Structure 1
Amino acid sequence: MVVVRDEEWLVTAIDPSADGWLVHCQGLSELVRDTTASFYEGLDTIVELDPSKAKVIADDSPGYRKARLWLEATLRKTPIPLNDPRLSVSTQMLADPLQYQHKAVRQALDPANLRPRILIADAVGLGKTLEIGMILAELVRRGRGDRILIVTPRHVLEQMQHEMWSRFALPFVRLDSAGIQRVRQQLPATRNPFTFFKRAIISVDTLKNEKYRAHLKRQHWDAVVIDESHNATNTETLVNELVTILAKNTDALIFASATPHNGRPESFAQLIGMLEPTAVAADGKTIRENEAKRLIIRRHRHSPEVAAEVGADWAERKEPINRLVPASAAENAVAEELSTVWLHPTHGTSPYSGANNRLFPWTLAKAFLSSPTALLETVRERIKRLDLNTPDDGREISALTSLELLAATAEASESGKYTALVNYLKSVKVGGSSTERAVVFAERVPTLRWLKASLPKSLGLKPENVAILHGGLTDVEQQEIIDSFKQASSPIRVLVTGDVASEGVNLHSQCHELIHFDIPWSLIRIEQRNGRIDRYGQKVPPQITTLLLTPTDNKFSGDLKVLTRLLEREHEAHTALGDVASLMGMYSVKAEEDAIRDVLSGQKTLDEQVQQVDDVAGLDSIEGFLASLMRTQGAKAEDAGVEPIEVVPEARLYPDDVTFLREALEEAYITPGAKESANGVEWREYPKDSIVQFIPPKDLKQRLSYLPQSYLTDRKVTELFKLATTKGKGKALLAEALRGDDHTTWPEAHFLGPLHPVLDWVSDRALSTLARNQVFAVRADVEHPTVILVGTLTNRRGHVVATAYFKAEFPNPANPEFCLVQTLESVGDAISQTGMHGTPINKGPVAGAVELEALIAPAVRRAEATLEGVFEAATQATHERIAAWTRRSEDWKDDASLFTQRSVVRQLTSEVTAEQRVAEAMEPTRQLVRPLVVLVPLDTPTANPATTATEGI
């Protein structure tokens, strides 16, 4: 605690600055309560309160409620040590207790890493978002998660925000187009929004704006999450530039992608280098595998440790249906024209007049395989760009015009694939009187629009029963459609979508039918699409169906057999490998499409481009490395020698969070004489339903304003806040909300988890019950006056490295220098020493509290003298970790000295030097001892009211 500008503040974090420390604080005294501020040591006088000069105040509250609340709040605000590998709050959230996900969290927190940095490369559907939430929760509990930025594709902004708040009680301000508009109304145009919102979620598209890019360069984060991080692997893109900026300006860094690289060694190496520069050799291309293994985790659906846990919560997909659909006469005419004029011209070359005449004919073919409508738009757009007066263009226009007429005829006639789609949807009971749903994927927007317009009439549906989703919609529109489709009350029965929904979106809560209306020419894209319904949490075996047009033209029909075999290979790889990208080894949708085009054009065979599942052996260095991770990290715990996941036993004075909340509210709002009227928050409990509710006071409403806006609107929590008090009830209400019966996916009552902002709020109120540098005196079952103390070891960044608890006994209080100090085994032991974890009885305030102040300074000094030995192991372990990293960096420098491209070496050396400064900041530098409570024997007399009033003053 510090005093700045004559107000009291609780220090929550510190950062080095050019002229001393930048101290981040939470207000405690009345004027600044519920205010956060940051002070520069060079500008403000920051007075740290001396714990040895603490005043002792006799607690006069019933059951020592004030002291118990203050002590509980202090323990909650004391971070778990930085390098404690055990899990804590992440195991108490609304996520299923899956050991394979806990393993990812533990790996992210591995003390062997200089900082918490990880690439979560689990295959599609394993729950990367949940792993992200668990990691962030653990960082928050360690005092390392105050400022967090999450970057996602724009269509999953709402989904990510929903998961972080509903399951982990981590509120993020969503900076989509609507959110940015609200920011503009609240902040001056020149204000950096990232300094105003401590936790934000934003799309990568928004960050491309030059203004936001400039803001990023001036902002440091405790943690940054890059979802779908493979979008940043192209070193020549703006996205890569943005991620590079963020990687340098954050402590913890989390990448998440099921397809983590694009096949280019230098791109993947750069991604790993962002996590830790020394994990990449000085050539900038070669992964130092032993170092990188600490930074990556990768498993798939059929990895033993995953398969053993998911059980019925991830139903196995049914055998896929690849339905051959005979082309209509009009479609056959188009196919023949494409085959004989464009794809396999009978008169020498195709009429295409562009620079690369190999690609465009297949662009036409791909459009046709989507729909005649898509082909028409492609043809017409091409004609617009041609000049009739140019001979080559004139020849192409003539050919395109013929194709246009045939496509228009096909569009006007009955479509074989469309008829097959309607018949299939009817066969699975999708219709006006049914609640069954289906997702229909197609690549071309004209196809989507055609399906959206045609399906309602064919299926007996209303227009609102068929929704369309594509990249041309705004971010808000995309999120609203996806959120609606998840709800049981949604009118949507068929979602026709482009590949904008193939990444990151959960569509399985109400749906288990997915239809490929056209076929992506990429194994990666096929797998991504399938993963929207084939993922953890799918209770019904998902059915994947593909409609394959089969024209009578032999050559064109032969081409389509290639796509059929591609689908078969995807299913084989999904079952055997869990990673379809290894079959082609290209790790890029575009590269795979180009390779399949080569197969279709006869330049390569399918076996040359796509390996058999049993033959995946000739792997390049990146794929071989990732494949080895898939094998070792996917093994069963007993086979791989993995230690069981340990959990931090967080001892508390109260049996559960709701009891702490109730007591705090009673102290603040129900005690006679409080500013609010009796029961001013209208607290109500419904034990049978495991729900409590109350009206948030004004200062809490201010904090709640940072909760998701749709949650505030749908559940009106600023008027009446409902909380689920058990994990089981929280999960049941969340599951009910995700069904969408109540027209919202937000639960009726939010789970009161250990990181809930309400608990943080009441903790701050409890801490403010004592004035500057005071501790309570209470009676306990002790023989002599005793002081309970906490000691912390912090590094230069202000992070807690280790904690210890002590009791100092004074057999002869008249001689306070005779003090017996004992180190307690744990915080639980410290609590048991106080006797306040049960239901203590306060017979009245302790007499002679002023005289007890003489015990504080000797207790603090003796505990400080004991700390060095207690923290020796933690200090040594930290030194060893830093030394190990230093050795790795020195080895890297030795390798770099042999490298000839000095510009690359200079760049990487600069990055390693920056990491060395981080390592230096990890050095333990300071020990601090604070008194927590003074205990006196049970028979200590009661002070008279006049004395107590004087002591209080």
Structure 2
Amino acid sequence: MNVPLSTGQFQTGDLINARDREWIVLGKPGDGLMRVRPLSGSEEDAIVIATALERTPVQPATFDPPSSDQLDTQDAARMLADALRLSLRRGAGPFRSAAHLGVEPRAYQLVPLLMAMRLDVKRLLIADDVGIGKTIEAGMILREMLDRSEIDRFTVLCPPHLVDQWVGELAEKFDIDAVAVTSGRARSLERGLAPGDTIFAVHPFTVVSLDYIKADSRRASFAQTCPELVIVDEAHTCVGGNESGTHQRFALLETLAEKTGRHLLLITATPHNGNQDAYARLLSLLHSDLNGGPDAPDANAVERYRRRLAQHFVQRRRPDIADKWGEARAFATLMKKDAPYALTGDFQNFQEDVLDYCVGVATRVDGEKARRLAFWGTLALMRCVGSSPAAALSALRNRLGGMAEQDALEPILFDSDEGDFADTDLEPATALDTEEAAELRALIAKAERLVASFDKDPKLRELTRWVTYLTNEKGARPVVFCRFINTAEAVGAALQAVFKKHKVEVVTGRLTPEERRLRVEALEDYPDRILVATDCLSEGINLQSLFNAVVHYDLNWNPTRHQQRDGRVDRFGQQATEVWSLMMFGENSIIDGAVIKVIKDKMERIQKETGVVVPVPEDSASVSNALMQAMLLHSSRPRAQGMFDFGDAAAKLDEKWKNAEDDARRSQTRYAQSSLKPEEVLPEWHRLRALLGGPEEVSRFTRRALWRIDKPLGEQGTHWRVHYDDMPQQLRERLAARRLTGTRAIGFEDSLPPEVAHVGRTHPLVALLAETMAEGALDPASIEGKAALGRAGAWRTHAVDTFTTVLLLRLRFKLTTSGRRTLLAEEATALAFCPAATEALLLGADALALLEADASGNIEPSAIARQIDAALARLDSYQSAIAAYARTRAAQLSEDHDRVKAATRGEGATTEVEPVLPADVIGLYVLVPEAN
């Protein structure tokens, strides 16, 4: 009876034989357990085995070298070298995540990662501006923690409209397949679970709707099974106000934060929206020292508080990135323009008629609360009137059929950031009593006439003029943001009638998040495209790959919403050199004039002086009173201005704006991460990425690999065209699972036109080709068609002046951290030897370069076999040189880890790097000097 060897006899990086296959040991998740990956497989094929339960004892294994019956061409040798590099996902350098990233981060985006590497328990508030790349920054921390085995599970908590975007971003940019958990999907995920199992126990990577998980019935059970890392997107929506939904969200986060060892990443572009209590609640989630502000008013206490906060809080503005980091090229030039228009005729008179009606209603009410509701109803109705005749008609009909409610009016009126924006793009009911029917019906009739003559609306005509200019003169693809659904639908229909050659799509809150996403993605097939949307798209779907202009058809009353709209296209990854942002407003519009005076002008002045966009002060009474007063002053009809007592609303509001400005100035220095110096580690990052394979290697490998399987890339101008549906069946099905179908334009450089998809080392096309080619070389029977590569070859070349043997190697390393975690790392490289020498002639990149030097002639197959057999006979004599190189690389990698540790000011953290020998000889090639 054979007795199985214990797991203790095998170490990370060892080769074993189990179940009639060879495997690489990736680690030991528990007693008697080993996590292993097939020698010829990918990370997706990894499993956990219990040695005591194996029918056939687990035995040590050795890696077979190439043989003379595995011959192939020089092109195959080149492809195998690149495939090996591009398929490796366990880099040995200090940034383990680099091998998995599908995006090339900028230097400033390394700051949150370096901050996280300092902390044992990683709790950060990432509060960079809209469009700077907060998702990338959080994703890099997540990916690094996974690749360092610091976590096994994670969850992303976000508003429901962001769930699908997070799932897509994790897959595309971080090589992580996460499961979406929403109210509509949870039931199907729970179906089939074993008794006692939960979604979060079975699915280690999840993206969860906050609105689903915040419920009292789910909060406690989720807290019990919650993963060790939680990312919270739009974290500000979890702490502000006293609404029941917000209270439930904060209660959930507070419960999760109580476990002191749980990692927590909070993401928001608006950490402080003017509500000091909400801001304090947000900071309390990071560290107990930040709960309630400084312990005492003295300077030392304030300084201690500031230092603690700086450890957990990073906030950069666009000017910081451009000036301090020299990263202006990371973003397009923002071309901001005002687009004023003048109302005339019936369109101007209609605003005055509605205001007359509203003033009459407001004068009839008694009591402060009733007066406030009257003002709010007036402002909400006037806002719809200023948006479009269609929105005005809908609001007037709603007013005729429904009574106003303060709780429903406030988030619509003041553009609250709480919850899903799709809930606030419907025109509200604004009625105060039932005595208004006759007047309302008269206004409805006027609105109906304006809807019928919408093509004559001065606002629409100004929009048409600007869209014509942007599309014809600037080659732009605009997104037109409207405040209300009926406005968006009317504008979309009007634009389609004028721009007949364009595809005009309308996306509003009438659609589910999935329907919105599908409609936007479908526009990729139309080079001439225009999108009309409500604010349901001002968060949730990134538009920079399809659009490069934003038109604000309606003024928003929350300045941060304009920033969010612009941020859909003006963000990291936008390939256009210019991004346009047009702000439309009526020069003689009653409502626009009030908003400009009370909100827009003050906000723009503060932004110009501080570089910070501040939200509207939360004193809604002062804001509404000031707006109402400004409307009456802006009106062209004489009215008794003293009919309402607005008190000192204007003065109160000015004081609130002043406080917001002062806070913005203080925030510029409060959170400066001056002690972090990414420039110290950026060369390390780039060196590691080059070692793993950069754009040049990705491009040449992809082109060669597709040529090998008879599916070459087609040329499309300066870029390439790939036909996903023509791929071999195995590859086609796996690509289709990643939604890669049809014919697409692709490129390999960082800067590409919007219609060209970027293909990097972790793009599914590259990753699957690399895995297929590498696996096919080691296990030809597992691969269909011509994808199986030989592992040996010989050719004549001018690149050498003596017979030279090039060994393509896979080095394996065991990384042991100060926490006694043991990790597997791999590296693809090469060594070159002269026949009689035992010391390497060339190392690493220099040896690999020999494979790229063009062959000058072919050699007879029989002669190739003799050369390969002769080289194999010398292989043992090369082993000491291979081992010496592996030890040198291990020492270099240890130094790299130390450098990064020093740059992050890490204390006590160490990483020992040890080679696992013997190294794997993947390919063997003999280069024969060409006779002169």
Q: Give me the TM-score of the superposition, normalised by structure 1.
A: 0.65
1:648-706 CA-to-partner distances (Å, cap 9, x unmatched) read 2534799824555688789xxxxxxxxxxxx7x43436589656778544544554354
SS class of match (2:94): coil
Report if the CA contact (8 A) 1:187-1:193 is conserved: no
Counterpart contact for 1:364–1:378, Cα < 8 Å: no
The 1-side partners of 2:252 and 2:834 are apart by 60
Q: CA deviation at 1:527?
A: 3.0
- 1:735-772 C-alpha deviation (Å, 9 max, x unpaired): 335xxxxxxxx68999969973332343344455799x
Q: What displacement does 1:423 show?
A: 2.6
1:21-170 matched pairs, under 5 angstroms: 23-28=34-39, 35-39=45-49, 58=67, 60-62=69-71, 77=88, 79-81=90-92, 83-84=94-95, 101-110=106-115, 111-114=117-120, 119-128=125-134, 153-155=159-161, 168=173, 170=175
Is 1:704 aligned to 2:735, yes or no?
A: yes
Work out the CA distance in 2 between the residues paired with 1:805 and 1:465: 50
3-state SS of the aligned residue for 1:521? coil
Distance of 2:143 and 2:394 partners within structure 1: 46
1:332 to 352, 356, 359: 352
> C-alpha displacement at 1:473, in angstroms?
1.9
Deviation of 1:605 (Å): 4.0
CA offsets 1:128-169 (integer angstroms, 9 cap, x no match): 456567777777887889977666555556666666677x48
In the TM superposition, what whole-angstrom CA distance separates every residue of 1:99-126 from its partner, at most 9, and x where no partner exists? Answer: xx33213542454244776544332344
Q: 1:568 to 1:251 in 2, by over 3 A?
A: same
Change (3 A) 1:476 1:125: same
Task: Report the counterpart of residue 269 of structure 2 in structure 1.
Answer: 258
1:290 matched to 2:293: no
Instruction: From the superposition, tell whether residues 755 and 209 of structure 1 become closer, same or farther in structure 2 (CA, over 3 Å).
Output: farther
2-structure distance, mates of 1:778, 1:249:
58
Matched, 1:506 2:506: no
| TM-score between both structures, scaled by the size of structure 2 | 0.66
SS of structure 1 residue aligned to 2:578: coil
Matched residue of 1:564: which SS? helix
Tell me, in whole angstroms, the C-alpha distance in 2 between the residues paired with 1:735 and 1:311.
Answer: 16
SS in 1 for 2:47: strand
Does 1:495 find its partner at 2:555? Answer: no
CA shift at 1:319, angstroms? Answer: 3.9
- The alignment of Structure 1 onto Structure 2 pairs a total of residues equal to 811
- CA contact under 8 A between 1:452 and 1:466: conserved in structure 2? yes
Q: How does 1:639-654 map to 2 (within 5 A)?
A: 646=684, 647-649=686-688, 650-651=690-691
Deviation at 1:272, TM superposition (A): 5.4
Partners in 1 of 2:727 and 2:889 — Cα distance? Answer: 42
In structure 1, the residue matched to 2:361 is 341
CA distance in 2, matches of 1:625, 1:802: 47
Name the SS for the 1:320 alignment partner.
strand
Give how far 1:545 is off. Answer: 0.9
| Residue type at the aligned position of 1:529 | R
1:231 aligns with 2:237: yes
| Equivalent of 1:365 in 365, 379, 389 | 379
Tell me: CA distance 1:935–1:55, structure 2 relative to 1, closer, same or farther (3 Å): closer
Q: Which residue type is aligned with residue 70 of structure 2?
A: S
| CA contact 1:4–1:45 (8 Å) conserved in 2 | no
Counterpart among 767, 771, 775 of residue 760 in structure 1: 771
Query: Counterpart in 1 of 2:19?
Result: 6
Q: Following the alignment from structure 1 to structure 2, what is the Cα–Cα distance between the partners of residues 785 and 332?
A: 84
The verdict on how the C-alpha distance between 1:257 and 1:465 changes in structure 2, with shifts beyond 3 A counting, is same
Q: Which letter maps to 1:521? A: W
Q: How far apart, in 2, do the equivalents of 1:641 and 1:658 lie?
A: 28
Q: Secondary structure at the match of 1:931?
A: strand
Task: Name 1:727's counterpart in structure 2.
Answer: 748
In the alignment, is residue 527 of structure 1 matched against residue 548 of structure 2?
no
CA gap of 1:221–1:374, structure 2 versus 1, over 3 A, is: same
- SS state of the match for residue 736, structure 1? coil
Indicate conservation of the 8 Å contact 1:139/1:145, yes or no: yes
| Alpha-carbon distance change, 762 to 114 in structure 1, aligned in 2, over 3 angstroms | farther
What letter is aligned with 1:479?
R
1:579 Cα deviation after fit: 2.0
CA contact (8 A) 1:376 1:407 kept: yes
Letter in 2 for 1:104: Q
Conserved in 1, the CA contact under 8 Å of 2:153 and 2:228?
A: yes
From 911, 918, 922, the counterpart of 1:931? 918
2:237–2:246 Cα contact (<8 Å) kept? no
Contact 1:123/1:300, CA 8 A, preserved across alignment: yes
Give the superposition deviation at 1:281.
Answer: 5.5
Contact 1:878 1:923 in 2 (8 A): no
The separation in 1 between residues aligned to 2:594 and 2:710, in whole angstroms, is: 69
C-alpha change, 1:497 and 1:163, in structure 2 (3 Å) is same
Q: Which amino acid aligns with 2:712?
A: R
Within 5 Å, give how 1:551-950 maps onto structure 2: 561=594, 563-581=596-614, 591=618, 593=620, 596-597=623-624, 599-600=626-627, 602=646, 604-606=648-650, 608-610=652-654, 618-619=662-663, 626-628=667-669, 646=684, 647-649=686-688, 650-651=690-691, 656-657=697-698, 660=701, 681-684=709-712, 696-701=727-732, 703-708=734-739, 711-712=740-741, 714-715=742-743, 727-728=748-749, 732=752, 735-737=754-756, 756-768=767-779, 790-795=812-817, 796-799=820-823, 828=845, 843-846=866-869, 927=914, 929-933=916-920
Percent identity over the alignment is 16
Residues 336 and 582 in structure 2, CA contact (< 8 A), matched pair in contact too? yes
For 2:447, which of 398, 401, 411 is the aligned residue?
Answer: 411
Q: Distance in 2 between matches of 1:439 and 1:938?
A: 55
> What is the root-mean-square deviation of aligned Cα atoms in Å?
6.4
* Gap change, CA 1:302 and 1:227, over 3 Å in 2: same
Q: Is the 8 A contact 1:367 1:375 kept in 2?
A: yes
CA-CA distance at 1:707 after TM superposition: 0.7
User: Structure 1 stretches of 5 or more lacking a match?
Assistant: 387-394, 552-556, 667-678, 716-721, 738-745, 814-819, 887-921, 941-953
Q: Distance in 2 between matches of 1:396 and 1:155?
A: 33
Alpha-carbon distance, 1:262 to partner: 4.3
Contact 2:478 2:547 (8 Å CA) reproduced: no
Question: 1:702/1:12 Cα in 2 relative to 1: closer, same or farther (>3 Å)?
Answer: farther
User: Displacement of 1:421 after TM fit?
Assistant: 1.8
Alpha-carbon distance in structure 2 between the residues aligned to 1:871 and 1:315: 40
Check 1:49–1:855 CA distance in 2 against 1; reply closer, same or farther (3 A cut).
farther
Instruction: Tell whether the 8 Å contact from 1:170 to 1:756 is kept in structure 2 after alignment.
Output: no
Please, which of 585, 595, 602 is the counterpart of residue 546 of structure 1?
585
Name the aligned partner's letter for residue 338 of structure 2: P
Q: 1: distance between equivalents of 2:610 and 2:337?
A: 17
Letter in structure 2 aligned against 1:38: V
* 1:624–1:764 Cα change, 3 Å: farther
Q: Is the CA contact (8 Å cut-off) linking 1:173 and 1:707 kept in structure 2? A: no
Is residue 167–residue 179 contact of structure 2 (8 Å, CA) maintained in 1? yes
Offset from partner CA, 1:524-566 (integer Å, 9 cap, x none): 2343334445555462543211237745xxxxx8x95354341
**CA distance in structure 1 between the aligned counterparts of 2:150 and 2:376, rounded to whole angstroms:** 52
Indicate the SS of the match to 1:930.
strand
- Mapped partners of 2:349, 2:371: distance in 1: 28
Q: 8 Å contact 1:8–1:27 — kept in the other structure? A: yes
Distance 1:397 1:115 in 2: 57
Structure 2, unaligned runs of 5 or more: 1-13, 296-301, 386-391, 407-430, 629-645, 783-790, 795-801, 856-863, 928-932
